[in-house]
Amino acid sequence: MGRLKLQPGISDAIEEEPEECDVAGTYSNNSTLACMINSEIGAVLAVMRRNARWGGRYMSGDDQLEHSLIQSLKVLRRQIFLWHHQWNAINPALYLQPFLDVIRSDEAGATITSVALSSVYKILTLDVIDHNTVSAEDAMHSVIDSVTSCRFEMPDASSEEVVLTKILQVLLACMKNKASVMISNQHVCNIVNTCFRIVHQTGTKSELLQQIARYTLHELVRCIFSHLQDVDNTDHTLVNGSSNLKREKMQFTDFPIVLSSIPIMKIVSLRCLCVAGMGKGLVFVTGGLNTDYAYGSRQSENGSLSSEYDNQPLPTNFSPNATSAVTATLMEEETAIPISGNEGVPYNMHLTEPYGVPCMLEIFSFLCSLLNVVEHTGMGPRSNTIAFDEDVPLFSLTLINSAIELGGPSIRRHPRLLSLIQDELFRNLMQFGLSMSPLILSMVCSIVLNLYHHLRTELKLQIEAFFSCVILRLAQGRHGASYQQQEVAMEALVDFCRQKTFMVDMYANFDCDITCSNVFEELANLLSRSAFPVNCPLSAMHILALDGLTAVIQGMAERISNGSVSSEYSPVSLEEYNPFWMVKCENYSDPNHWVSFVRRRKYIKRRLMIGADHFNRDPKKGLEFLQGRHLLPDKLDPQSVACFFRYTAGLDKNLVGDFLGNHDEFCVQVLHEFTRTFDFQHMNLDTALRLFLETFRLPGESQKIHRVLEAFSERYYEQSPLILANKDASLVLSYSMIMLNTDQHNVQVKKKMTEEDFIRNNRHINGGNDLPREFLSEIYHSICKNEIRTTPEQGSGFPEMTPSRWIDLMHKSRKTAPFIVSDSKAYLDHDMFAIMSGPTIASISVVFDHAEHEEVYQTCIDGFLAIAKISACHHLEDVLDDLVVSLCKFTTLLNPSSVEEPLLAFGDDMKARMATLTVFTIANSYGDYIRAGWRNILDCILRLHKLGLLPARVASDAAEESEFSPETVHGKPVTNSLPSAHMQSFGTPRRSSGLMGRFSQLLSLDTEEPRSQPTEQQLAAHQRTLQTIQKCHIESIFTESKFLQTESLLQLAKALIWAAGRPQKGNSTPEDEDTAVFCLELLIAITLNNRDRIGILWQGVYEHISNIVQTTVMPCALVEKAVFGLMRICQRLLPYKENIADELLRSLQLVLKLDARVADAYCEQITQEVSRLVKANASHIRSQLGWRTITSLLSITARHIEASEAGFDALLFIMSDGSHLLPANYVLCIDTARQFAESRVGQAERSVRALDLMAGSVTCLAEWTGAAKEAMVEEQVSKFSHDIGEMWLRLVQGLRKVSLDQREEVRNHALFSLQRCLTGADGIHLPHGLWLQCFDLVIFTVLDDLLEIAQGHSQKDYRNMEGTLIFAMKLLSEVFLQLLPDLSQLTTFCKLWLGVLSRMEKYMKVKVRGKRSEKLQETVPELLKNSLHVMKTRGILAQRSALGGDSLWELTWLHVNNISPSLRVEVFPEQDSEHSLHEQGESAGGLVPDEMVSNPSSETASYEDAGTADRS
């Protein structure tokens, strides 16, 4: 018996490793790992011994007692405990190979194979093998080759499932192992191939196994593509390092779709299996297989996974001929859309290199190829469904989605992989997007979402096409889409909308691009329409669309906080013509450049669409319009018109076709320029013609058709000659295609052209030669199956993605402008929001109206608040107004109803309460930008006011808050500054209101009509109402109005005036008056709160109060509020607004216009307010105009018994000690004091005090004069002195008038005061002329008037006039003597003196009570005597000439003799003798002139007459 031999070389396989080397995995103890492997060996041997084949001795040759499989396991068991090296220094093949031999053995049954697979799986998961392990690469490849070539005997189906499950586990473990980075591209593809075959093979067997296989394949794809982001960081990803990567980038446009790691026979068989499992009649397009590809792996190692008992084993022996046969069979059906661009230079990758992009590319290409299924009938022009078995494409889409999720942005670094996504994948996604299966549609949308997230910069036109041709078509439910399709499309759209920058990307890249559709606008309109329930209850679709709208709006609102929102929105304008199709951006990544660029481009696009509308009505006027907007040159050129036709949406294609087909020379040039805008490179003729004819309607006239096709043929031959000999061949063939198209698709043509007819008709057209039969046959079948539309659809419907359009899209994608990536800044939100705001508000409002659930309410409210924030940020006042109007309708506050019912209804209506809270939240937060909306807000406030639900301090102003008392007057806000005793309301009594007032009404019981106790529901409803109103903070609108922007504040004031209504005389109801009073309170409150901006409010406030004052004829609360509110405004604002002090004070003149009954009712309160105003603001009233108003009001009070005391108190405050007397108010105060002195209301004592005020004011005049001399220049002093003189003259004139008062005490005190003012004017320095005027207008006048009164009135009216006359005469004498030195120097002194003498003479003759006054008879001569002595002493009265030429002397004695003849002797005794002689001379006809003798008082009379004339 021989001994077992060790496998050759097993002892040499262990390489020496340094002892300090790290131990692989987490198992540091060699014995532990040896024990684990030993247990697996034991398990396999145990299972093998159960079988009779393995249990006995093995008697076959070479003295070998046991089977080689058992022997190798036993040898391994002996060796593992002898290894002392670290496990990563041991070749894994030593402990893996025995297990792999069992797996690959044909003799091993399913159970043995299953246990061996489990052992390999356990070893792989122990992390013993990693990239540092010796020969790890070979070991991993050996495992993969063994498992993928697994062969076993299958006793039953369940055993097969177990083995296949173990295979899946091991393959997945290989890819998750740390050494997986060393697996080659070929082996990775082998793994994927094997897993997919298991997926297919188990399709009709175990559902569980199939799901496990699918899961495994899914995890494999995830493992593989998660490695993509690290590809550039490894040296072994591509062959020859960077050189191969460079070549990849150079050749990415043309490459074959090959699953390189699988032999051609297996690719074909696998795809055949895929097709076999699909629906009947489906064709799978393989596209460009490289049949010459050579593989280094052995065929035997890539055998099938079939078992001996499999009824349908997978083919393993395909020859190249067989492959060709299968391929030919597959391609016989020509219903599939051919894949372009898949032929080219083979992608020769080294399959033995560690896996990277090559295997990923092959796997991804294979997954995409699984989607290449279409119906035999193809897609008709109106079809929107694809009938197929959803299983395979859904699974493929799931794997593709995972690959994209994990590959992410790394895909763009690999051009071939990116190109595969751009073309083949997206083309298939466009088709499957119209699937009737919601599962497939949902997965397609998920893939597109991931592509947008990771690769949107590389998929600009593809994304546009997806939304235009799939989402917008399905979500509207118009093109035959089912409700499920519509719902899935809408869900996908909402997912996109939740991406923060999605809508900005759509707007910037598509809506602002003249060559693209308005994706953003269409999506926004779609969401708005879909959220709008029309004659139907609210459904899930409506809520879904609402979520999309709110997501877009809230995204805009969030961007506001990120800054970059310009405070000023600058509109775009074109100053000069620039070719609009040539507009470029300097830097598409810098917002400073692209923001202005896209806004300008959007402006151009809008103007072009307006121009298109004009063009459709009148082509000539349309072009002229564009010329006026600088979009076309002043002198039209063919290129600009051609580009207008080519790039402008909405043009009437019939008009464009007629224009292009016109024989006019300019139109022909436009036609040729139009064709130059097309790119026909590498495009089939029928495809090019389809694209060309989609842009206009081919004219019906043959000549026009010829011109159009001739231009097209010339352009096509220039770019894609292909097999055409010349442009004539292109023209003839184009004509032939048009004829064929008409023949095949015109129902009136009964006998259709056959393929042979078409080929025969086109003989010898290619420069005298025939075109290839295959070429013509392809054209024939293409046109038969897909009509060339010579009458393209009008309007803005969403087009279907046809093959020709997809080819055109791929051409355009190479030339389109770069995709603009927006960030989180609100650069374009103003423009976007302006487009969608109106429909959005309408839609959310309708949903809010129809909604019945709180979560829907809250969603709508969130949308409303976001709209308000955006509108305010971007200064879109009209939008905010529309929002407020909409919201106010939901408050139910504007609905007329009874008093009690709305309270309960409001408390029970959550929608109304939420809307109310939102309205006032917007008003408080964004009031700066509310304009017309204030009216609606005030309507709500007034309704709350009428219901008694407003807080008591709504109309309070900021300055009163510190004085606030919790008590209210009748439950209404009290804003009057008058004491409560003066707050007499003349209107109807106000009902109890306020929050607590209404609540207490509910709780109270009426004594006359007992009410039932309120229910708990009613109490709860009222409590909710109170809480809602408190949360609204309505008072903040007015108390914080000082922070409102100017325009908004002005609109708020106008709204208050409008809400109050125009006052009417006697026609207003109590309710209207109550509203007007409340509005006036609010108006006054915001006026006081905005003292710094009183200028903008004042005109409106004044006019409103003026209307109230002038139209009110009876006392009422409204006029009371108007008058005292006006006074409060003046009182509060005067200290801060001196620049409008005059205007404020002038407004108080309205009080003077009050109806007599109204004025009388409020006179006392008005006077008290004026008094407070004066005392608080006297120092701030500086102008004469302001003081005129104040003194006018005070003057009126002098005649009112209740008000006079307060009025005089104010006057006393002004004039006492001259503290507030000014040159500006001096005369006015003097006149006012005079009126108080003359007033007989009250006691005479007050008149005397008024006179004292007048007399005491002389000191102010003296002070002002002295101050002026020190502070002013000479010219100014002169003018000021003149003004002072005028003031003094008005003072003494006022005293003169009071001197005629009936009351003796007042009359005499007035004369005394007059004497004080006349004699105390030394410091004023009055000019002599003013003194003469004073004698004339004051002194002589008062003497004359008193004399007239004494003679013409009874003693009852004027008591003791005798004493007054004496006092007046003394005043005359004293003043005259005091001023005598100055007056005597005047040339008119003689007249003045004669006037004095004449008054003394009259007073000597006056009769009081019918007889002459003895006291006067005594007083007058004595005063005259005194005067004569003084004049004599001063030398003023003396005889100047003996001849009688001195008139003063003579006239004096003529009057003195009439008064008292003896005075001459007494004063001039030495002149007595001369006087005697003079008398003798007179008797003897002396020398005295006759006129002087006959009329001794003529001069005096003339002087008096002159004085009288001056007074008059």
pLDDT digits (tens, 9 = 90+) for 1165-1221: 989 888 888 888 888 888 888 888 888 888 888 888 888 888 998 998 988 877 788
pLDDT level of residue 1441 (50, 70, 90 thresholds): low
Tokens of 171: 């393959």
Mind listing the pLDDT tens digit for each residue in 964-988?
333 333 333 333 333 333 333 333 3
Of 123-137, 289-303, 347-361, 1232-1246, the least confident: 289-303
The predicted model gives 509-533 an average pLDDT of 92
Q: Which amino acid type is present at position 355?
A: Y
Cα angle for residues 352, 354, 355 (degrees, 5° grid): 105
DSSP 747: T
- The string of DSSP codes covering 230-278 is GGGG-SSSSTTTHHHHHHHHHTTTS-----TTS-HHHHHHHHHHHHHTS
Residue 499: predicted pLDDT: 92
Using the predicted structure, report yes or no on whether residue 926 has a pLDDT greater than 70.
yes
Phi, psi of 434 (to 5 degrees): -95, 20
Q: Spell 357-375 as b/e; 16+ CB within 10 A means b.
A: bbbbbbbbbbbbbbbbbbb
Between 723 and 900, whose confidence is greater? 723
Integer Cα distance of 369 and 577 in angstroms: 50
Q: Which of 466-470, 496-500, 1167-1171, 1359-1363 has the lowest mean pLDDT?
A: 1359-1363
pLDDT tier for residue 956 given thresholds of 50, 70 and 90: low
pLDDT at 53: 66
The total number of residues written for the chain in this structure: 1512
Do 1059 and 1075 touch, CB atoms closer than 8 A?
yes
**Catalytic positions, written as ranges:** 701
| Structure tokens, 63 | 């003295």
Residue bearing the bigger pLDDT, 997 or 281:
997
Phi then psi for residue 1412, to 5 deg, are: -70, 145
Q: Is 795 left (phi over 0), alpha (psi -120 to 50) or beta?
A: left
Nearest alpha carbon to residue 849 among 552, 550, 538, 551? 538
Q: What is the DSSP string of 911-963?
A: HHHHHHHHHHHHHHHHGGG-STHHHHHHHHHHHHHHTT-S-TTTT--GGGGGG
pLDDT of 1472: 59
Q: Please provide the DSSP assignment of 1143-1190 as one string.
A: HHHHHGGGGGGS-HHHHHHHHHHHHHHHHHHHHHHGGG--SHHHHHHH
- pLDDT at residue 1010 in the model: 53
CB proximity list for 465: less than 8 A, separation 6 or greater: 426, 430, 801, 806, 809
Q: How confident is the model at residue 581 (pLDDT cuts 50, 70, 90)?
A: confident
Asked if pLDDT for residue 509 goes beyond 90, the answer is: yes
CA-wise closest residue to 374 among 339, 342, 398: 339
**Helix or strand or coil: residue 792?**
coil
**Both tokens of residue 679?**
């790119």
Given a contact cutoff of 8 angstroms between Cβ atoms, the answer to whether 1144 and 1015 are in contact is no
Q: At what angle do helices 665-675 and 653-661 cross, to 10 degrees?
A: 110
| Mean pLDDT of the region 1127-1138 | 85
The CA distance from 197 to 147, in Å, is 13
**Structural contact between residues 44 and 112, judged by C-beta atoms closer than 8 angstroms:** yes
For residues 215 and 1406, the model is more confident at 215
Which residues in 281-296 are b (16+ Cβ under 10 Å) and which e? ebbbbbbbbbeebeee
Quickly tell me which residue has 């108010």 as its tokens: 1225
* Between 1361 and 6, the higher pLDDT residue: 1361
Residue 103 to residue 112: CA distance in whole angstroms: 8
Least confident of 55-64, 334-343, 727-736, 1336-1345: 334-343
Cα(736)–Cα(732) distance, integer angstroms: 6
Is the distance from CB of 1311 to CB of 1346 less than 8 angstroms? Answer: no
Q: Which residue has the tokens 């989607």?
A: 371
User: pLDDT at residue 1337 above 60?
Assistant: yes
SS3 1333: helix
Contacts of 1321 (CB under 8 A, 6+ apart): 1258, 1261, 1262, 1288
Task: Identify the weakest region by mean pLDDT among 235-249, 672-686, 688-702, 1400-1414.
Answer: 235-249
Burial class (CB in 10 A: 0-12, 13-18, 19+), 319: exposed
Mean pLDDT of 842-854: 93
CA distance 288 to 284: 13
Evaluate whether 241 touches 232 at the Cβ level (below 8 Å): no
User: What's the whole-number mean pLDDT along residues 937-963?
Assistant: 74
> Packing angle between helix 910-926 and helix 933-946, nearest 10 degrees?
130
Per-residue pLDDT at 1471: 65
Phi-psi region of 263 (alpha: psi -120 to 50; beta: other; left: phi over 0): beta
Asked if 177 and 124 count as a contact pair (C-beta separation under 8 A), the reply is yes
What is residue 1218's DSSP assignment? G
C-alpha 571 chain-centroid distance:
16
pLDDT attached to residue 1180:
84
Q: Would the pLDDT of 221 be above 90?
A: yes
Interatomic CA distance for residues 443 and 448, integer angstroms: 9
Note the pLDDT of residue 10: 37
Q: What mean pLDDT is predicted for residues 1318-1325? A: 80
So what's the pLDDT on residue 1184?
A: 84
- Residue 900 φ then ψ, to 5°: -75, -40
Q: Which of the pair, 1352 or 929, is modelled with greater confidence? A: 929
- Helix (H) / strand (E) element for 1412: namely strand 1411-1412
pLDDT band at 204 (very low <50, low <70, confident <90, very high): confident
Structure tokens at 791: 């009458």
The 10s digit of each residue's pLDDT in 415-429 is 999 999 999 999 999
Tokens of 1280: 């000021």
Q: How many CB atoms lie within 10 A of CB 769?
A: 12
Tokens for 1212? 């006393």
On the question of pLDDT at 292 being above 50, the answer is no
Cβ 717 vs Cβ 728: under 8 Å: no
Does 63 have pLDDT greater than 70? Answer: no
Tokens matching residue 510: 């598509």
Q: What percent of the chain has pLDDT over 70?
A: 79
> Which range has the top average pLDDT, 161-165, 331-335, 1449-1453?
161-165
| Mean pLDDT, the chain, whole residue set | 79
DSSP H or E stretch at residue 542 = helix 540-560
Cβ-in-10-Å burial (0-12, 13-18, 19+) of 702 comes to exposed
Write down the pLDDT at residue 667.
Answer: 93
Position 1271 pLDDT exceeds 60: yes
DSSP code, position 289: -
Tokens of 1303: 């009351």
Count each helix (H run) and each strand (E run) in the chain, helices first. Answer: 66, 4
Mean pLDDT for the stretch of residues 1017-1030? 90
Model pTM score:
0.76
Min mean pLDDT across 641-645, 741-745, 1068-1072, 1418-1422 is at: 1068-1072
Average pLDDT score over residue span 1293-1301: 90
User: What is the pLDDT at residue 333?
Assistant: 32
Residues 1402-1433 have pLDDT tens digits of 888 888 777 777 888 888 888 888 888 888 88
Kindly state the average pLDDT of the residues 480-502: 92
Q: Mean per-residue pLDDT for 747-770?
A: 89
The H-or-E segment that residue 374 falls in is: strand 373-374
Dist. CA 433–CA 440, nearest whole Å: 8
* Gap between the terminal Cα atoms of the chain: 169
Instruction: Compute the distance between CA of residue 1335 and CA of residue 451 in angstroms, rounded to an integer.
Output: 108
Q: Encoding tokens for residue 830?
A: 């103003």
Q: Looking at residue 64, what is its pLDDT?
A: 52
Sign of the Cα torsion 1149, 1153, 1158, 1164 reads: positive
Phi, psi of 1137 (to 5 degrees): -125, 70
Each residue of 594-604: pLDDT tens digit? 998 999 999 99
416: nearest Cα among 360, 472, 377, 368: 360
